[in-house]
Structure 1
């Protein structure tokens, strides 16, 4: 579950206007106007209370104390993503049971509490040690992990688990679309970058033409930017155009392999079945 931002209509509408020429170029007839969207947060809370699940995870912020108490009352274990010691302390004060400690090399969205927060820079190893010293709850290490040595290192540093995403992008089980898959192996893509241009939130992906053109224009407003840019991203992906869609990837994307997910796990964590 995620927390949404207040909607800055003027800023998002200005961005929408800037995107209209590209939309027309890609055959997208219209881009949606910005509208409030909390991803049905309260409806999800009610559903989880009425039909409990063992684990509920949160990103982009924290649930309020009442929500925490209601979910604990139905025996759900609560996990939250953090990118700083301060956020970890606040998450534990709210009553969360475990934390995903995300380093800045992670692919996709950074789980900062506020969309306007600057890009995190503390390396995962340093952040993991600092959070471990500050809070007593179990920690899951995430962000840029891509080989056996890195997984072993965070586990030896006190994490109870390692969380990986980019390492699985080329597996047949992943939902990675064909355009994204192809880009991950193309030599023309040489670096990843944190940008707000696709969704309004900082997220790491391969640098492409869309990032070059729109990164400086995108307001820090999620999910409103995601709404207005979505039709462009989908049209580009469908057309096989990697230059105008999001290509989420962590800094270790070159190590992602085209093999079944089970083989990835066995390679990253020898001895597992």
Structure 2
């Protein structure tokens, strides 16, 4: 199933949002609107990925994408241990146990690649880095279009060098994890509309704009700035097909401010500012996925009690524009507004 970004009926991509927000139903809804839906298979096994792909295939006959997390080198065990001790009183308060040992975690990378080679999908994108040139060549030979997530012109050069077919240019306005290729990197602050031409200056690959695109004017601006398509994440979080918890959906319209923090996962990520971020953000080490696993019990407990002061509430800067209703209608309305801008 050959895919060309410039041939999408609607140049809108549903952002892959790991952790449950992106569902097979959301993928299908974006496809029905004429865009390109994406599965997020970070934090899942290769077997779970295969189940989600099967569900997507049952619900849409149009192209779709699968997003992979590129594994990172291990973080500093001492720094993780120190952060564990900082979090321990909070864990005891809520009756949860923090993991005392966090082993190596490559997010089932090798098994996922093997599965995608044995049973190819139309599009694969990468977050947190890039595959090797050999891995990219294998997927290309299988007929898969590949997209690298980049946050700087330097990352864009690296993505083109390993054989990416297109680039997702993620501006600082984006919700969720910043896609820096190294865990320790400080994310750039160049706004998306300035970042797009900076990346265009170093590559001729098709560009997908991501970050803070909450209304038609923003979508139109990104396309005028040189993007072949736009990627919407936060804009779809309140949609019917989103897997986001009810408390997260409500907080998008209730909490006023977003910040970038390492507090929940050890990687910089933009979310709604809350008390957990204020308490722990300055002390979280650049260790991923170790901090992600360390805070997982606390985050799960906060979600169970719908405690938005302690949940990880990923959100982009345009979060208050997120609309409820069918995702197909959300995408269609944004595209209508963009065409009128």
- TM-score, scaled to structure 1: 0.95
Q: Which of 220, 233, 238 in structure 2 is aligned with 1:165?
A: 233
1:81 aligns with 2:136: no
Is the 8 Å Cα contact of residues 106 and 249 (structure 1) preserved in structure 2?
yes
Alignment of 1:27-42 (within 5 A): 27-42=95-110
Q: Match of 2:21?
A: none
Secondary structure (helix, strand or coil) at the match of 1:174 reads coil
Q: CA deviation at 1:6?
A: 2.2
The 1:271/1:244 distance shift into structure 2, 3 A limit, reads: closer
Unaligned runs of 5+ in 1: none
Q: Which of 243, 247, 251 in structure 1 is aligned with 2:317?
A: 251
Is the 8 Å Cα contact of residues 174 and 315 (structure 2) preserved in structure 1?
yes
How many correspondences in the alignment?
270
Unaligned runs of 5+ in 2: 1-67
1:190 aligns with 2:256: yes
Q: CA deviation at 1:100?
A: 0.2
Q: CA deviation at 1:190?
A: 2.1
The 1:31/1:245 distance shift into structure 2, 3 A limit, reads: farther
Is the 8 Å Cα contact of residues 151 and 187 (structure 2) preserved in structure 1?
no
1:200 aligns with 2:266: yes
1:148 aligns with 2:189: no
Secondary structure (helix, strand or coil) at the match of 1:231 reads helix
Q: Match of 2:170?
A: 102
Secondary structure (helix, strand or coil) at the match of 2:69 reads coil
The runs of at least 4 consecutive aligned structure 1 residues that moved more than 6 Å come to none
1:1-45 deviations in Å (ceiling 9; x for gaps):
122222221111211121111111112134352221010111111
Secondary structure (helix, strand or coil) at the match of 1:269 reads helix
Q: CA deviation at 1:182?
A: 2.2
Task: Give the whole-Å Cα distance in 1 for the aligned partners of 2:134 and 2:71.
Answer: 18
Q: Which of 68, 75, 78 in structure 2 is aligned with 1:10?
A: 78
Task: Give the whole-Å Cα distance in 2 for the aligned partners of 1:153 and 1:190.
Answer: 24
Is the 8 Å Cα contact of residues 20 and 31 (structure 1) preserved in structure 2?
no
Task: Give the whole-Å Cα distance in 2 for the aligned partners of 1:264 and 1:76.
Answer: 28
Q: Match of 2:111?
A: 43
Q: CA deviation at 1:158?
A: 1.9
1:231-265 deviations in Å (ceiling 9; x for gaps):
10010011011111101110111111222212211
Task: Give the whole-Å Cα distance in 2 for the aligned partners of 1:203 and 1:30.
Answer: 21
Is the 8 Å Cα contact of residues 217 and 337 (structure 2) preserved in structure 1?
no
Task: Give the whole-Å Cα distance in 1 for the aligned partners of 2:144 and 2:95.
Answer: 46
Q: Which of 157, 164, 185 in structure 2 is aligned with 1:117?
A: 185
1:262 aligns with 2:328: yes
Q: Which of 277, 281, 286 in structure 2 is aligned with 1:220?
A: 286
Task: Give the whole-Å Cα distance in 2 for the aligned partners of 1:207 and 1:33.
Answer: 29
Is the 8 Å Cα contact of residues 32 and 227 (structure 1) preserved in structure 2?
no
Is the 8 Å Cα contact of residues 175 and 269 (structure 2) preserved in structure 1?
yes
Q: Match of 1:135?
A: 203
Secondary structure (helix, strand or coil) at the match of 1:216 reads helix
The 1:258/1:224 distance shift into structure 2, 3 A limit, reads: same
The 1:32/1:256 distance shift into structure 2, 3 A limit, reads: farther
